[in-house]
A and B are shown apart, each in its own frame.
Chain A
Amino acid sequence: MKTGKRYWRSLGELSDTPQFREWLHREFPENASEWTNHASRRTMLRLMAASFGLAGLAACRRPTEHIFPLAKGVEDYVPGNPLFYSTAFALGSAAFGLHVETHDGRPTKIEGNPNHPASLGAASAFAQASILSLYDPDRTRSVRQGRRRSSWEAFGEFAKDYFRDDGDGLRFLSGEVISPSLEAVQQHALQRFPRARWIEYEPVSQDQAIAGAELAFGRAVRSHYQLEKADVVLALDCDFLGLDAPSLAYTRAFASRRKVSAPKSEMNRLYAVECNYSLTGAAADHRLQMRASKMALFLAALAAELKLAPEMPARAQLSDAELRWLQAVAKDLAAHRGRSLILAGPRQPAVAHAWAHALNELLGNFGTTVRFTAAEGKRQVEQIRELADEMAAGRVKTLVILGGNPAYDAPADLDFSSRLTKVRTVIRLGLEEDETSALAHWLLPEAHYLESWGDVRAWDGAVTIQQPMVAPLFGGRTAAEVAAMISGYPYQRAYDIVRNRWGGAEAAWRKALHDGLIATEQVEEVKPKTRLDRILATPLPPSVDGIEIVFQPDASVWDGRFANNGWLQEAPDPITKLTWDNAALLAPSTARTLGVKSGDMLLIESAGRQIRIPAMILPGHAAGSITLPLGYGRTKCGRVGRGVGFNVYPLRTSNAMGFAAASSVRKIPGSHRFSLTQEHHSMEGRPIVLETTMEELRKDPRAVEKKTGRHELFSLYKEPTYDQGNQWGMAIDLSACTGCNACLLACQAENNIPIVGKAQVARGREMHWIRLDRYFEGSDEEPSIVFQPMACQQCENAPCENVCPVAATSHSPEGLNDMAYNRCIGTRYCANNCPYKVRRFNFLDWHKDLDALQKNQYNPDVTVRMRGVMEKCNYCVQRIQEAKIKAKAESRRALRDGEILTACQQTCPAEAIVFGNLNDPNSKVSKLKKQARNYQVLAELNVKPRTSYLAKVRNPNPELA
């Protein structure tokens, strides 16, 4: 529907921002009518409601609505039909290939690119949410010189006569450069300005890993783990399924070894040694809590145990329990030479990484479970430290900051922002107005990666061309463009820069664009040798007495760059279920010694600096250690992120980026209210998430069934039969699910799910259609964690349907529990009567305060729900309908299995969610449901859910039982 009336109105709403008008006119007038569609979809629902029974009368004065067709056609654009482009998303040193769905020129949804080795069709929460940042109304909207609004032309003029010399005192500062075309410009710039230097800094970097490699091999390398080949995995402070690695591909590989279809199938075993409770820890078969500062020692001891290193005092510092654990692990590893793997996390010091390498070589894992490619040995922290010193010494005249946010996230001891004031000219290219922009003399709007040309090299070297789906909304430019501008690079526009970097024939280029991968580059694989003597010569880090503090990227805002992203802020932390906040995570025992409970404020001091932050007790966290998630407490930030959470960077110094010793931690007056999406953590012994072990399964294949118990189920009535046509159903493998938030974000993007904000989450009104239920099991001190994605179960005997007085929710012949928003009057009875509590009610008009710009992200295939109506998961019925219509048009009778992917399924890195036709015995889902692990939650209620779960299987080491 193209409803012009409201189109004009929403333009009116926006007309206060000239950029918007400019953007509207310049970019895509043709589909102006389309995008308002969604704005109007909302308004419409409201109007319908407002116009009451008087709908009739209203129509007497029927509003004139306009249709705005294109003036000139656009190739392969059919109004209303989506187009998909491949591109890539970069985060630190990693990049992930994507497919982006666009509707009439508006990117609306991000999927993983199945051909891309780093994403394999999956997309992380960050990647998916990045689309919201594109439409962030708080983005830098224009070039500014000081306070004055300026223009690119003006800056061009300025640059022309400012950058004449040989670059004396000229410094470039950017995030890690993983873009080949930017590298080209970088090199050119450094030739053009011989005395200039280019610093790369990421708050979350691979520095220690590189240092470790240099220590072990004498050269920097990148490690590539082949988890699908590993039978026994030992992860030390390494959340390779979560935040400490390009986790999508690793998750896929790991999960492939966790889905046991038959009792005889071989399952891998994961040992995790960690401080904070991570997704990896949750997935582990054995988890050992250990302070981060002790893990290098653990590895050394392991080396000793495996006779790689001579006996050393290390062992003495391990407790008996730890030692028992270590011995068992050592035995298990040794028993799986060439099929085992040891990973050390980025927070761990070089020596730990070195030991890990040494052990992997000893265990014959080189070339089998771990491969290496060459890497350059730049240390980012050192680079920025030098820069800071130069700034302090006044030797930096011009600093060109391309992206990043050093004023906020540079190591505290460098005192970056105050030293920045010593620089004569600070030129800053930034996506949003942040702490750094505030200190810049020239502020340049950066182009979002979805609106500009670029290219990125993934962790394993695969290169993807980034192509724009819209022209820059606020006239932003890329880092390459700015660097080119300053250094007079022969190519000035992003497209030319990239196109020229790759050259090649048009056909190959087009193919590269289409596939999202460029063939030309080859990454050299290296076969390094460890030098044990050097490792042995390196002292282990001193043990921290007192409480240690550990810094880690946050699952929602990473290093702070996503602070203004409402989806991510509202996405609950997978482990703590905390939204819109960070907290000092500590073990119950630590809390007891400090005399604090969750919500109490702590004053933490380290290296002469201090922060205030509320404590949160996390069962399973290592004692005597406090985890501080980075990225919160932004002072200069958009409306969403400003003042959310607590900034922990002040404690993070350049020589202790991973963890440090706290000089003092004490409770101070005051408390903080967290907004949690899950407040109860125990399963109360109910058969909700069923768990079994490989052993049990081998003994008795029916083990799972026995746990649920049998129930005599009957109905008063003759129940309808669902044996015709498609019968949709879903199976979720809890053994594969790692609890990452990918599905939750996918659902949010696909189904126009609103953001409700911290206060409303606290009231229990979050709108996510799919919950990731997280349960702790076992003791408070040593709990294990299980996850359960919980969305509408599409019950055949749906209790919600029975109680709706106006029949707003009823059953489709294909077994879907339909929800007709436009019929709903909002009694909330259905939600009350839902045993899974998966229905969501629009308590308020969540879309009211939404900037029209953000409405561009709305999926036009899904109604935007007005306040006062109920909503819930519907297996992405819009996708089902599209597919059916497509099949009909192609006059196909049956749909192919896997032709329809629900949003959550499509993006799940573990492929834990499988949707399909239960009526087709050969469909993947039917097969899964036939497995002995398959069970229905609350089956005894006879609601006959169409979604069922495959019990979680762990593979514990009998020796540790």
Chain B
Amino acid sequence: MPEAVSHKVQGMLGDFPTPEALLDAIHALRAKGYSRLDALTPFPVHGMEEALGENPSRLGYIVAAAGLAGAAAALLLQWWTGAVAYPLVIGGKPPFAFEFSIPITFELTVLFSAFAAVLGLLVLNGLPELYHPVMNASRFAGATDDRFLLVVDAADPAFHLEHTAELLRALGSEHTEVFEG
């Protein structure tokens, strides 16, 4: 990038060949008291959340709420337009009835939920986030290809340029680098 990256160490990155190796390393580091770890992998690795002590996603609740909102909106729309705004006699049917409101209620429920799910995903992940310091790391590209990266945040109390690097190498990191930004 033309404009200078502020040369402040943001963290350290270890590069592992397999998910298993990565998991072992994470367990080891956490055992050593590291708390601010992250893993960058080309595909979801099972057991990763447990390893990093992440609590399960709350996305479900958001979606559920949105779904209910969708249903309510649909029913309200159909009832208000049909029975309040301009009640017309159509086909000898009542201005509003649940029977013929079901399909659209269902559709809107799904629609709202789906939007909630996607927006939720983005928000919870803080996306879009076009820039992230770790992207400055030379090995970053591997994370979307075939490498399994372990990232130690510089803010981690246990973080130490030499020791942490040592440790990572010891745990089988094939490449260890500090990234700034």
Contacts and interface: CB of A to CB of B under 8 A. Distances in A.
A718 interface: yes
A368 interface: no
A798 B99 contact: no
Contact of B90 (A716, A801, A944): A801
A589 interface: no
Contact of A797 (B88, B92, B94): B92
Contacts of B90: 801-802, 804, 807, 810-811
Interface in B126-164: none
Nearest to B86: A807
A944 B93 CA distance: 13
B127 to A, nearest CB: 35
Interface in A779-814: 796-802, 804, 807, 810-813
B101 to A, nearest CB: 13
Interface in B51-96: 88-94
B74 to A, nearest CB: 16
B49 to A, nearest CB: 47
B68 to A, nearest CB: 27
A542 interface: no
A715 interface: yes
A799 B99 contact: no
A797 B90 CA distance: 8
Nearest to B89: A811
Contact of B92 (A720, A804, A807, A813): A720
B124 interface: no
A811 B92 contact: yes
B91 A716 contact: no
A796 B93 CA distance: 10
A719 B92 contact: yes
Interface string A477-505: 00000000000000000000000000000
B87 to A, nearest CB: 10
Nearest to A715: B92
A298 B11 CA distance: 119
A811 B88 contact: yes
Nearest to B92: A797
Contact of A944 (B92, B94, B99): B92
Contacts of A813: 89
A720 B99 contact: no
A717 B97 contact: yes
Contacts of A811: 88-92
A24 B145 CA distance: 84
Contacts of A719: 92
B94 A798 contact: no
A720 B94 CA distance: 8
Most buried by A among B89, B97, B99: B89
Contacts of B93: 717, 802
B89 A807 contact: no
Given A717-B94, A718-B94, A810 B99 contact: no
Interface string A259-287: 00000000000000000000000000000
B94 A801 contact: no
A798 B88 contact: no
Contact of B91 (A718, A798, A812): A798
A385 B63 CA distance: 96
Contacts of A802: 90-91, 93
Interface residues of B, number: 9
Nearest to A797: B92
Interface string A83-115: 000000000000000000000000000000000
A812 B97 CA distance: 20
A715 B97 CA distance: 13
Nearest to B91: A802
Q: Classify chain A's interface size.
A: 20 to 34
A807 B90 CA distance: 8
Nearest to B82: A807
Contacts of A715: 92
B93 to A, nearest CB: 5
Contacts of B97: 717
Contact of A796 (B88, B92, B94, B99): B92
A810 B90 CA distance: 5
A944 B90 CA distance: 13
A823 to B, nearest CB: 11
A803 to B, nearest CB: 8
A717 B88 contact: no
A719 B95 CA distance: 11
A486 B94 CA distance: 75
A796 B91 CA distance: 7
A960 B106 CA distance: 67
Interface string A806-829: 010011110000000000000000
A302 to B, nearest CB: 57
Contacts of A798: 91-92
A456 to B, nearest CB: 50
Nearest to B88: A810
Contacts of B94: 717-718
A353 to B, nearest CB: 58
A717 B99 CA distance: 9
A828 B90 CA distance: 17
Nearest to B94: A717
B41 to A, nearest CB: 49
B12 to A, nearest CB: 59
Contacts of B92: 715, 717, 719-720, 796-798, 811, 944
A266 B76 CA distance: 63
A134 B91 CA distance: 43
A807 B88 contact: yes
B99 A716 contact: yes
Interface string A694-732: 000000000000000000000111111000000000000
A592 to B, nearest CB: 50
B167 to A, nearest CB: 66
A798 B91 CA distance: 5
A811 B88 CA distance: 7
A250 to B, nearest CB: 43
A804 B90 CA distance: 9
A807 B97 CA distance: 16
A717 B90 CA distance: 12
A719 B89 CA distance: 10
A802 B99 CA distance: 13
B142 to A, nearest CB: 52
A419 B89 CA distance: 70
A944 B89 CA distance: 15
A307 to B, nearest CB: 65
A799 B93 CA distance: 11
A668 B17 CA distance: 90
Contacts of A810: 88-90
Nearest to A718: B94
A814 to B, nearest CB: 11
B91 A801 contact: yes
B107 to A, nearest CB: 14
Contacts of A716: 99
A716 B99 CA distance: 9
Contacts of A720: 89, 92
B82 to A, nearest CB: 9
A649 to B, nearest CB: 54
Contacts of A797: 91-92
Nearest to A942: B92
A715 B91 CA distance: 11
B89 A799 contact: no
A833 to B, nearest CB: 10
B98 to A, nearest CB: 11
A716 B91 CA distance: 12
A726 to B, nearest CB: 15
Pick the 3 closest A-B CB pairs, nearest first.
A802-B91, A797-B92, A811-B89
11 contacts: A716-B99, A717-B92, A717-B94, A717-B97, A718-B94, A720-B92, A798-B91, A801-B90, A810-B88, A811-B92, A944-B92
Given A718-B94, A720-B89, A811-B88, 10 more contacts: A717-B93, A717-B94, A717-B97, A797-B92, A802-B91, A807-B90, A810-B90, A811-B89, A811-B90, A813-B89
